[in-house]
Amino acid sequence: MQIPKQAQLLRIFLGEADRHDGKPLYEAIVLKAREMHVAGATVLRGGLGYGHSSRIHTAKILRLSDDLPLVIEIVDSPDRIEAFLPVLDGMMDAGGGSGLVTLENVQVLQYGRQPAA
């Protein structure tokens, strides 16, 4: 699979406790992106953060949290990202509607291995 040099980065901020159809929302999003042949997705787990509610979520030992902040980063062509956005919107709404979604243009420098010369 190839990604054009001019691509888009979709970034989704949500909580670890957010759910969709009985499973973690972050997992459902990544699996749906894979099903739709989006080039790649990565889930990053944060140790500390807050969002719309201004409630601090932390991974400190004395204050165990089951709702740590997560960021999902998805990179692909603008067309594939655009096709994924309505699906994501439905999943976010079903997962409680909380979270932040951003989109930015990026330049892809390398994706996977280059064929040997």
> pLDDT tens across 22-73, in order?
999 999 999 999 999 999 999 999 877 777 666 666 655 555 556 788 999 9
Q: What is the pLDDT of residue 47?
A: 79
Q: At residue 1, does pLDDT exceed 70?
A: no
The verdict on residue 91 lying in a domain is yes
Mean pLDDT of the chain: 85
CATH of the domain at 90: 3.30.70.120
**How many CB atoms within 10 Å of residue 39?**
19
Q: What is the domain range of residue 92? A: 6-107
**Dist CA 46 CA 116 (whole Å):** 38
Q: What is the pLDDT of residue 93?
A: 86
The verdict on residue 34 lying in a domain is yes
The verdict on residue 68 lying in a domain is yes
How far, in Å, are 5, 11, 67, 71, 115 from residue 101 at the CA level?
A: 22, 6, 18, 10, 35
Q: What is the pLDDT of residue 94?
A: 79
Q: What is the pLDDT of residue 48?
A: 75
> Which two tokens mark 65?
């949290």
> pTM of the full predicted structure?
0.84
The verdict on residue 76 lying in a domain is yes
The verdict on residue 114 lying in a domain is no
Q: What is the pLDDT of residue 68?
A: 85
The verdict on residue 97 lying in a domain is yes
The verdict on residue 1 lying in a domain is no
Q: At residue 117, does pLDDT exceed 60?
A: no
Q: What is the pLDDT of residue 57?
A: 64
**Dist CA 52 CA 9 (whole Å):** 22
Q: What is the pLDDT of residue 105?
A: 97
**Tally of residues, the chain:** 117
Q: What is the pLDDT of residue 46?
A: 86
> What's the total number of domains in the chain?
1
**Dist CA 45 CA 66 (whole Å):** 12
* Cβ-proximal residues to 5 (8 Å cutoff; 6+ apart), any chain: 107, 108
The verdict on residue 112 lying in a domain is no
